[in-house]
Structure 1
Amino acid sequence: MSDSFVFADTTSSNLAVSASEPFQVLIVDDDEEIHVITKMALSDFELDGRGLKFTSVYSGAEAREVLSQRDDFALMLLDVVMEHDHAGLDLVKWTREELKNRMVRIVLRTGQPGQAPEEQVIAKYEIDDYKEKTELTYRKLMTLMYSSLRAFRDLQAIEHYKVGLERIISASTEIFSACSINQLSQGILEQLVALLTRSNTAAYCRIDGFTATCDKQQPMHIIAATGAFIQQIGYAVHNVLDLKLVEQLVEKATPVSFQVKDNTYYGVYKTSANHFYLLYIRGVNELSETDRKLLDMFMNNTAIAFEHAEVYGQQEG
């Protein structure tokens, strides 16, 4: 290999595997050694408790195929010269203009800077950084990862705010219908999770006839969700929850009780009609007093809204 990374000596660390979803990184380069070195150098990288998961492709054509099928890449490390001199630049243009993918952070890496002058490339193409392979020391590579993934994380949060706001506005037209309240809860939950966490995985459940033994015949149905739970709205959930902890929270006398365990928030709200609602959010390390009040208000107001919708529906019937 004509161009190589120059990495400083590092001490290995045995970091615990994070339960949070890793950032997806796409490496596009026709040099196998670049893939190997990059993965080795970043094997212990973490941001917000999230590691990295790599996908390797070796040409612009392969990259197009993968990007057409997946939209979850946080970062693309992209070589300029592959099957032809401007394969990388063509891929950037296709990703931004035809695929309309504005979220993925794109970092161009070149071993032949004369082929694509930095100033011209940055001015003409929607990339986030430009690096010569020979200048990417270990420290600079780590700095690049932090800056790129933080930018992706923040853009993702903004998108979640927008989606949540859209749901809230749409739901506000028929506030007394159960369907509308469900949509309203979904929108607010998406905004809360984007505001308070880094993982975008949460479920808001109604606990039907909860018993002290956590009998699975008494299910917890998801009524709003984000991330990994969004496809399970309307269904019962058990296997991912700490049922013993839920039981302990239900048995407390206070209307709202919560606990953060293993970076996961469990909050239980008890209504005046003796119904229970559970709010489960991953990626919560600690809560400020303001954060806790926001979550309490969410559970209180949505629970009341659902019960009012039930009464309204019975009166209409």
Structure 2
Amino acid sequence: MSELELFHFSENSTVKKTTVTPWKVLSVEDDLTYQASLIYSLQDLVVYERPVEILTANSVSEAADIISRNSDISVILLDVVMEEDDAGLRLASTIREVLGNSAVRIILVTGQPGMAPRHEVMAKYDIDEYWNKSDLARDTLHTVVSSHIRTWRYLSELIQAKQGLQMVVDAARSISSKQNLVSFTETVLNEIERIIGIKQGGIVCFAYQGKQFSSNARVLAASGAYSGSTHKALSELNLDEYYPGFVCAAEKRGHLFGTDSSILYFDTPNIDQKHYIVLVHSRERLTDGHINLLQVFSENISSGFTAVALVSRLTNLAYKDQVLKSYNRNWLLRELSAMTKEEKLESRLMIVVVNDFTGMMVTFGEHYCEDLLTALLLNIHGVYPKDLIARTGDCTFAILFNKKSILTEEKLSHMIDQRLTLNNTIHRLRLTVARIDLSLLTEVKAEQILQLSESTANMAHIKGQRIIDYEPEIMRSITASHHLLMDLHAAIDNHEFFIVLQPKVNMRSGKATGFEALLRWQKPDGQVIPPDRFIPLAETAGLISHLDIEAAKQTIEAAILLQKAGFDLPISFNASCSNLHHKDYVRTVLDMIGRSGLDGHLLDIEVTESQAMLSYEQINPTLKQFSDLGLGVSIDDFGTGYSSLAHVAYLEATTLKIDKSFIDHLGENDAGNHVVEMILHLGEQFGFAVVAEGVETELQRQYLLNRGCYVAQGYLFARPMSVSKVIDWLNTQQTT
């Protein structure tokens, strides 16, 4: 029976006929040809007798706008690479973490499989599936989209139901303390005793299911002469004389009132198909007044049985996983919220994640994988028979246990490699486990405890660990990153960033040949945030374009100041490759250069080797736009990536910068020496200038000079300086 049948609608209510609402599928794709093929392939798809409506976006910003206006999108077909090489991944992160939308199914599609490794991407960004465009034939596309529409429908209905059911259950708890059927029935019996004043005799309540009453009916509650018979079968009690009355009341589904005994009948057929027979036996004759009172009371408590049964059912729906019949995430949050500080001191929470579950779902299907999880849950119960287990996600379980029942490391190591047999097929499930000592989180709210636990498990997955213990540093790291991100947003708005210039020096003459602009951040309180903290954070948060544009702007201004001071020396500024994919960034920088009137040869743009080589075909045309204006193009950290010699030969670059990691060990090992000599040889062969980074000793300087490398930057020559100090330093150079 459906939940709707529990409700009665008035006869005069009307239902308006409506057209069939289509499923909404969003395609985020900047390849218009491929997007057109997707639309064509899906135009005749029908799921649950409803057609599919395709929404389209050709950029991340356009997709974000569509998502904000359509809360009922079921599936998103998301291209990995669009305006930027990680644009699709950042959109996925925004959907899950910022919008908090866990229901919409995200299917990542890519024409460049190497751009984002499958397993890392699916774990980090909560991606539901990952396909190469070439593998998505029409039939496969129909199967994948249909499956995820069904999953979205199930999740959406469940989320809506649970929100409503939790409100009902929690409200019912605050109204009455008698939501348990046994305690409710015991209270009923006590009230009957009080109403009719039974001094000798007793009351007993039987519960049974099925259409026919039988002697197998069990005692639910009892009082008086029948005390101590709870859970016994009717056949175990000496009540044969009443049996015909029980059968009659059950058949008529009504009460039987008498002067020495009465039989009351209650049922909840629309909720749980249960029936209740109550025998009220008094050795004193019941008066007509007693019988009338008992009859009125019976009519009142009839709704009580229904209410208790309904609360029981709603509790089951709200706090039980309806597939595995285990506790669910809502239940765990309720238990954690109810725990006292003393209970937390003695408890642990363990998160168990089934690795590669998404791949299993694709391979074997949803129902098969649910059977696998059921078998896994039985195995976990075998290891933790007395502890509380909840399913908190598609492939995640949480175990709440007392520290006294903790497993040895040996048994835990054995548990995380499960061997299950299903349909005569052996499956080996690999689990990741995160252990959380709740004594470390006594002042933390339930939702945050669970989030920290899941973050710890995710950290183990990223690190390749199978078992990990939560440490306070994890929370401090997450909190610090969040606060720093908030400060980063404010710093961009308040223009707290500035550049310093580090000279590039001719090691033979000691004279400056140019500079590199390095972005710095100093907060209003004077605290300096190092670049290795704020730059990765800006990249993750999608703010790096703001920083790169600010660096370019200030570099142009610095070059103009140097020129006015009489120094025509080029200054390089860094650009992330994600920005070089972004037309707005390129256009903005080119416009700034054009408006400044600065000669292009006084600027140099730097990109890292690993990024440039990874996106060679997309990056090279953009670099040519800058070189056409006379700008130099430097490949930073050269030697650390995986450059193809064919790409290097045709790379739109003017300078190779030897990474500091190789300079640090010059003369110490052959490997580093060979890399340096190889880069110098490449420069000579293909006409690149070569700059050594991080030169700090005279030994390094002499080694490089002996091998024909003449330009370097590093602390041996000068540290990064403000523009005004650079001008003073250059003036000093001229006089020496």
Q: Which has the higher helix share?
A: 2
Higher relative contact order (CA 8 A, sep 6+): 1
Q: TM-score, normalised by structure 1?
A: 0.48
Q: TM-score, normalised by structure 2?
A: 0.21
- Between Structure 1 and Structure 2, whose CA radius of gyration is higher? 2
